[in-house]
Structure 1
Amino acid sequence: MSSTKQPREKISKMSGEVVDSNPYSRLMALKRMGIVEDYEAIRQKTVAIVGVGGVGSVAAEMLTRCGVGKLILFDYDKVELANMNRLFFQPDQAGQSKVEAAATTLSFINPDVTIEVHNMNITLMDKFDLFMERIRRGHPGVQGPVDLVLSCVDNFEARMAINKACNELNQVWMESGVSENAVSGHIQTIIPGETACFACAPPLVVASQIDERTLKREGVCAASLPTTMGIVAGLLVQNSLKYLLKFGKVSMYVGYSALEDFFPTWELKPNPQCDDRQCVHRQADFHKNPVSRKMDFMLKAEETAAPVHEEDFGIVVVDETAAKDLQDDTKVTEGLRSEYTKDDQGTSAGQGDAVADTNESIEDLMKRLGSL
């Protein structure tokens, strides 16, 4: 079953006019500051999100608030009270399908965004063809392919289905995931033929020929933290915006480990012996015509206008050399300074409370004190 939520006419639209009363103007400021060349282009973009759970629902909300033109949502689960430890969903939505509940909320947040929903399991044979068709022709107007597919599912079978569809359609997509212990996650950009697909480097559990469904134990479920899922969703949408609006450098892979505050990044090369034959075909096509689809628009400082700040947020920027010269035992990050410093005797003094050095000995000072 599928449906499309059209913009609500009774709610004022988030027009592109840059005025204080329009929340969209804050996003348009990215263009005024020289970060994005054409932010309005986001309204012409269509993004498909597979999996509207802890990561997918928040990613959908972020894209909606950013003014994306159209979202196509795929999921077959229902909202449960157990989902309330995450962001986005509300207790009164329990029992509704996740896609329908998401569409209602997102349409209220920004009625300009067209929301198309499909309450179905894409891994089923009869649903997979429809999934392929919506990726191929989901873009409104031209009836062409979507601009980007985001994978926010929590199982290997669904990821492989997305991988198969995107390899066959030569569709760029981004994969995301959160670990079972809820304290780490990752995002990965996959360009068929140019980077490793999901089948090129399968996870260890699959390489060991173990059915992931046998790993589930009765009464035990994966941990879930709204913080980790929010962080991963933010990384995913930030990367999506860079790809869609062509600014900054699109990350090929970013990991996140909350226990170590570690963000590893690298790029995975495609495997010539990949089990997905469509991936091998895409690799051959890329070798014949090596035109990269990676977006690398690193902004050069000398070419970027200085940001115009309309408000004072109390941020103080100082020369880096001044920060390096601080003699406090507690080192501070370069570019920052301490509000209070310690003198040689270890007492704290404000920067404007320095005492003049008279070169008097302690005995002389005691005599002066006794004569008072």
Structure 2
Amino acid sequence: MKKQQDELTGFAENIDDLANRLKNALNKLEERKAESPDAPGNQLGNSQQEKQPTPYREKIGKLSGEVVDSNPYSRLMALQRMGIVQDYEKIREKTVAVVGVGGVGSVVAEMLTRCGIGKLILFDYDKVEIANMNRLFYQPNQAGLSKVEAARDTLIHVNPDVEIEVHNFNITTVDNFDTFVQRIRQGSLTNSRVDLVLSCVDNFEARMAVNMACNEENQIWMESGVSENAVSGHIQYIEPGKTACFACVPPLVVASNIDERTLKRDGVCAASLPTTMAVVAGFLVMNTLKYLLNFGEVSHYVGYNALADFFPRESIKPNPFCDDNHCLIRQKEYEARKASETIDLEIQEPEEEPVVHEENEWGIELVDESEPVLSSESPNNSGVAEGLKFAYEPAKKDNVSGDLSPAQAATHDLMQSIKDKLVQEAQKK
């Protein structure tokens, strides 16, 4: 009996030992999976992790205008050498939030990344689909990934100097809206307010959410959109209190409080062209660069009609009866600022800065494009088109008889012939 008990005790100890060894083996296997996200059976965790891809180069500390093949900023710094931008390197201090990284927003994010923006904050809740491949930026192998993480993984390889923060959620929900407002307040590189918000969404509900947040925070932003037929679009600069907000002149769907989701029909989708979206994205980024780097003229509204190549530009004033209460508050603040500004009647002529250009072997120089180039030696009064002149000057004719009547001209010719005969006779003598 005792022998059987000893055997059972030994058998139980062996089972416990095997169980502990199996448990240790499973723990080691889990650790290996955690260290290798690409291992079989761990694909789902890979798409959700915050793992940053390894960039192809080290970060660059200071921008250089040196013209070498290995310098990614040489063409950008040329804007500074040519006098277009005073200090291009300031772009590395700027933070831009992009809401919606679809057909327009993803191209906007890529352009800003290539321009060397300091920080991008991307907001979107959608996933990459094969149906998105008619647009630019995303690749078929990214299908199924969230758009913000797919965009981040691509942009880090384009320019590792740019800091990219992503948020995979819908800003129109209450909790996510609060997070969105908080990132506007503290999302910059210095944990302060962002420099600009860009709306690249495809629905009015999200536009109204961005509008509400920016009116509350007195945040300058730019709105963009492409029509459902894919042949027109627009961008709009919105400064709370100074220009019309999105609620000041709302679309019919918004003004009528219609749920736009009820307008969608099964099997019917909006058209989209990569060309139209690229044009709108280009306008939006150019306006963004002009605003951030303080050059050129920031457009308040630019439209685009591809069918007629029509580009209307407007400036829309705020609506004093806007439905957004914060917009009305910003309007009063703006009017108070204008009233307190002193008017300086002394007009000073701006000093013309010399045009800066690099010497080159082809003799190409920059000229002022605001005035036509004419020859300083002879004014253009010959009747030919501007910029052209005759190879030689025609001989001037005696136009004395051209201003006389027929009788006076005949008398003039007769007196001239008599004068010539008298001269000939005098020479003979």
TM-score, length basis structure 1: 0.79
Residue of structure 2 in register with 1:11 after alignment: 57
1:303 equivalent in alignment to 2:353:
yes
Q: Which has the higher relative contact order, 1 or 2, with Cα contacts under 8 A spaced 6 or more apart? A: 1
1:35/1:304 contact within 8 Å kept: no
Conserved? CA contact 2:55–2:156, under 8 Å: no
Taking the aligned partners of 2:284 and 2:51, their CA distance within structure 1 comes to 24
Structure 2 partner of 1:250: 298
Runs of 4+ deviating beyond 4 Å: 1-10, 309-322
Greater alpha carbon shift after TM alignment, 248-257 vs 19-28: 19-28
Structure-1 residue corresponding to 2:176: 127
2:52 matches 1:52: no
- The 2-side partners of 1:275 and 1:251 are apart by 25
Matched residue SS, 2:314? coil
Aligned-CA RMSD value:
3.0
CA offsets 1:54-87 (integer angstroms, 9 cap, x no match): 0000000000000000000000000000110000
Q: Which runs of 5+ in 1 are unaligned?
A: 293-299, 328-333, 338-372
Letter in 2 for 1:12: E
Deviation of 1:150 (Å): 0.2
Equivalent position of 2:112 in the other structure: 63
Q: What is the deviation of 1:218?
A: 1.3
Q: Which runs of 5+ in 2 are unaligned?
A: 1-46, 342-349, 376-382, 389-429
Per the alignment, residue 115 of structure 1 pairs with 164
Q: Quick check: 1:222 aligned with 2:273?
A: no
> Within the alignment, does 1:35 sit opposite 2:50 as a pair?
no
2:245 aligned to 197, 200, 203, which one? 197
Residues matched between the structures, number: 322
CA contact (8 A) 2:56 2:157 kept: no
Asked whether the 8 Å contact 1:7–1:111 carries over to 2, the reply is: no
On the 8 A contact 2:355/2:366 being kept in 1, the answer is no
**Which residue of 2 is the match for residue 296 of structure 1?**
none
C-alpha offsets along residues 71-130 of structure 1, whole Å, 9 cap, x if unaligned?
Answer: 000000000001100000000000000000000000000000000000000001111000
Larger fraction in helix? 2
Aligned ranges 1:132-147 → 2 under 5 Å? 132-140=181-189, 142-147=190-195
Given that residues 4 and 114 in structure 1 are in contact (C-alpha distance below 8 angstroms), is that contact kept between their aligned partners in structure 2?
Answer: no
Scaled by the length of structure 2, the TM-score of the pair is 0.69
Per-residue deviation at 1:25? 1.1
Which structure is higher in strand share? 1
Mean CA deviation greater in 60-69 or 302-311: 302-311
Kindly state the Cα deviation for residue 17 of structure 1 after the two structures are TM-superposed.
1.9
Contact 1:52 1:99 in 2 (8 A): yes
Which residue identity lines up with residue 306 of structure 2 in the other structure?
A
**Which amino acid counterpart does residue 231 of structure 1 have in structure 2?**
V
Query: Does residue 1:235 correspond to 2:283, yes or no?
Result: yes
The match for 1:90 among 139, 142, 159 is: 139
Structure 1 residues 218, 326: CA separation in 2 closer, same or farther (over 3 Å shift)? farther
* AA in 1 matched with 2:208: M
Cα separation, 2, equivalents of 1:10 and 1:305: 37
Displacement, 1:211?
A: 2.8
